[in-house]
Homo-oligomer: A and B are copies of this chain.
């Protein structure tokens, strides 16, 4: 770029990044619409639309001019301070450009085809418990994913290259001891709970909860928690998610069951946690890394915080109980404490997405350990179902009569999302560690929740986490906010204290 200044190169990169973000926002909106409102016969057309946009965005992301502009700006005065907006953006543009250009187009296309096929095969094979039918395409996906990891490069462990895509800087070596500590403490806690003198009466949450009342209650709750419904929506879908379209437009989705209070309510509060992160990003940095979420793990820390540390706390329910009883006739003869116990029931089970706060991490660790063994070549796919069952027996004391509820329950592997699962437990770990720090600075939070004061805590997460965008990688953000590296003791202590008290053990 003869004669171009660093400032000019930066301006080009910024404009290129923002334009891609605005175009990408159409893909996000169309994805939301696919889940919520696309007519049945419109899906084939939508797939072609998304394919065209994905190709365009891939071309833009690998445009050789990005490399040229980065070369001009890197090492210049403009990025001398590594904490400056410019330095952060350049660092992340470089990271993403390298990731995108390291993967040969041939490999990207093959993986896209394999995962498209993989998900279709999985959908058909799962209800038939047909591992043999699923294994060939899954083997192909693992082979291609290994190639991707090799193309991206890693220091110690092939798995790290994959994990790093979702959680920048995270490594298996860092996670293994942390997860081991959580696993052992959880298994020990579960053994104590098993002999607890008290049991929750879960029939309470299986009474009748009319859909309209659920929706009205959930909207009122998330509004009081601080989600801005004028800058977002809540719509019903089959498989709930949060979709950030951009500043002022952050969409939550949920799914209603009239005979079960938990899924829609806690699902909505969970997505609302993702949503306040989206609403907390700084609009002036929209379309650049400084205005983007840093990782899946940090994202999940926000959703888990609101779902569990806030939404399943006694203080929360003390505040919202009158409103709940007003909305739901079926709760009018229920004691608050019994309801709170019922929504905090702990029980080892087969299905990850239905697991409680305590056992959830064990589901993740099983997947993490299997992925690691598969990637290392210590386990073959043929032996994966048996290894799955063994770990479920050992950690959770349960065994699935079907593969559909066992090794075939998740869509992730068929979609090529290998190295993704750990971010769920990282979310729980970060959440507990952040929460403890917030309490150090703001005082005990539950009494605040009991008074309906959620703003101080939300503001704290805004300032310390959301406004930071991608300034820090997760581990550095954690250190920056809490003064400490990732420490499993916060989660271990939180779960131990809460459930020992609830179950009286």
Q: Which residues of A contact B (CB under 8 A)?
A: 19, 22-23, 25-27, 29-30, 33, 37-46, 48-49, 51-53, 56, 228-233, 245-249, 286
Contact = CB atoms under 8 A, between A and B. Distances in A.
A45 B246 contact: yes
A26 B39 contact: no
B23 A53 contact: yes
B229 A39 contact: yes
Nearest to A45: B246
Contacts of A38: 249
Task: Give how many copies assemble into the complex.
Answer: 2
A43 B246 contact: no
A422 to B, nearest CB: 32
Contacts of A56: 19, 23
A41 B233 contact: no
Contacts of A39: 229-233, 248-249
A26 B53 contact: yes
Nearest to A247: B45
Dominant secondary structure of chain A at its interface with chain B: helix
B44 A248 contact: yes
Contacts of A229: 39
A331 to B, nearest CB: 28
A393 to B, nearest CB: 46
A294 B229 CA distance: 41
25 contacts: A22-B49, A23-B49, A25-B45, A25-B49, A26-B26, A26-B27, A26-B29, A26-B30, A26-B53, A29-B30, A33-B33, A37-B37, A39-B232, A39-B233, A41-B228, A41-B248, A42-B245, A42-B246, A42-B247, A42-B248, A42-B249, A44-B247, A44-B248, A46-B246, A48-B246
Given A33-B29, A33-B33, A231 B41 contact: yes
Given A25-B45, A52-B19, A37 B233 contact: yes
A202 B468 CA distance: 62
A33 B37 CA distance: 10
A30 B52 CA distance: 16
A190 to B, nearest CB: 42
A478 B376 CA distance: 70
A53 B22 contact: yes
A37 B42 CA distance: 18
A270 to B, nearest CB: 20
A41 B248 CA distance: 5
Given A29-B30, A46-B249, A23 B41 contact: no
Nearest to A248: B41
Nearest to A37: B233
B22 A246 contact: no
A27 B56 CA distance: 15
Contacts of A26: 26-27, 29-30, 49, 53
A41 B230 contact: yes
B230 A45 contact: no
- Going nearest first, the 3 A-B pairs with the smallest beta carbon separation are A42-B249, A41-B248, A22-B52
A471 to B, nearest CB: 22
A40 B248 CA distance: 8
A233 B27 CA distance: 20
Contact of A45 (B33, B40, B42, B249): B249
Given A29-B30, A56-B23, A40 B246 contact: no
Contacts of A52: 19, 22-23
Nearest to A231: B41
A469 B91 CA distance: 50
A17 to B, nearest CB: 12
Contacts of A247: 41-42, 44-45
